[in-house]
A = this chain, B = another copy of it.
Amino acid sequence: MNTQAEIDDFVLNGHLYYIPHVSLDCAIFGYHDQQLKLLLIKHKAIDGWCLPGGYIKRTEKLVEAANRNVKERTGIDNLFLQQFKTFGDPNRARMDEFDEEKWFEATGIRITKDNWLIDQTISIGFYAITDFSKTELQKDMLIEDCAWFDINELPKLEFDHDEMVSEALHAMRVQLYHYPIGINMLPEKFTLSEIHALYETLLGKKLDVSNFPKKLIALGLLKKLDEKRSIGAHRSPHLYVFDKEKYSQALKDGVVLS
């Protein structure tokens, strides 16, 4: 939200064009050069760091709402977004801890107890993976800060977002065995070592050399090019590309990679 009028309208009339009681939160993982990071934001009305998220327009599909949220923060459109879990513990966001003054200071508008934003909300978790070196993080009037954090050095998050991150990581790691996730994290042409390093970093563990790439080749998802990269004397590994058609099909249907 970029103007005071937009904020006022959201607070006062948001229930008319968003679905009340339902929000979404996005765990956006960023990969680059064997590093795995997570995107966090700091909302002006909330003390600590959170996952980016928002509400769902009544005219939107859930994944469209997630895409809109991710695009607003990262500038990236059409990331592969995957629902991982919906969170609805009655204690997940305690409204008795809602700080009215801090909210007013941050937003310039007072919320009354009967406002649509002050009620129990369930939240749908999505995760995405992108190359963090290609993103352009964007703040808005309600967001004080927005940054990539190393996955092993995350601060304590607000609400139930620590649990969300842990569930998102778990779901992503299970799904790595069933969906090819990687097309937007590697150069267009890459070596087997590069894709191996990607999988090791995402899974957070050492893998049998070339196990994953071998499966990807066997499934026809990777194509070997008649082209090598020269990285030193006697070292010129073959380059590979994804078969985009088979990749899209596998993303839709799932495969067994392990």
Which residues of chain B come closer than 8 Å to A19, judged between CB atoms?
21, 88, 120, 122
Interface size for A (C-beta < 8 A) is: 29
Instruction: Please tell me if A8 contacts chain B, counting CB pairs below 8 Å.
Output: no
Q: How many copies does the complex hold?
A: 2
Of the candidates B86, B124, B174, the one whose C-beta lies within 8 Å of that of A178 is: B174
Minimal Cβ-Cβ distance residue in B for A92: B61
- Would you give the shortest CB distance from A170 to chain B, in whole angstroms? 7
Instruction: Please tell me if A20 contacts chain B, counting CB pairs below 8 Å.
Output: yes
- Would you give the shortest CB distance from A12 to chain B, in whole angstroms? 19
- Would you give the shortest CB distance from A254 to chain B, in whole angstroms? 6
Instruction: Please tell me if A56 contacts chain B, counting CB pairs below 8 Å.
Output: yes
Of the candidates B86, B177, B254, B258, the one whose C-beta lies within 8 Å of that of A62 is: B86
Instruction: Please tell me if A89 contacts chain B, counting CB pairs below 8 Å.
Output: yes
Q: A88–B90 Cα gap in the complex (Å)?
A: 21
Which residues of chain B come closer than 8 Å to A214, judged between CB atoms?
none
Instruction: Please tell me if A35 contacts chain B, counting CB pairs below 8 Å.
Output: no
CB <8 Å contact, A88 and B22: yes
Question: Known interface pairs A19-B21, A174-B178, A256-B177. Does A61 touch B88 (Cβ–Cβ under 8 Å)?
Answer: yes
Within 26-70 of A, Cβ neighbours of B (below 8 Å) are at 56, 58-62, 65
Within 215-231 of A, Cβ neighbours of B (below 8 Å) are at none
Of the candidates B62, B88, B175, the one whose C-beta lies within 8 Å of that of A56 is: B88
Instruction: Please tell me if A191 contacts chain B, counting CB pairs below 8 Å.
Output: no
Flag A84-123 by CB within 8 Å of B: 1 or 0 each: 0111111000000000000000000000000000001010
Q: A38–B58 Cα gap in the complex (Å)?
A: 31
Which of A's residues lie within 8 Å of B, judged by CB? 19-22, 56, 58-62, 65, 83, 85-90, 120, 122, 124, 170, 174-175, 177-178, 254, 256, 258
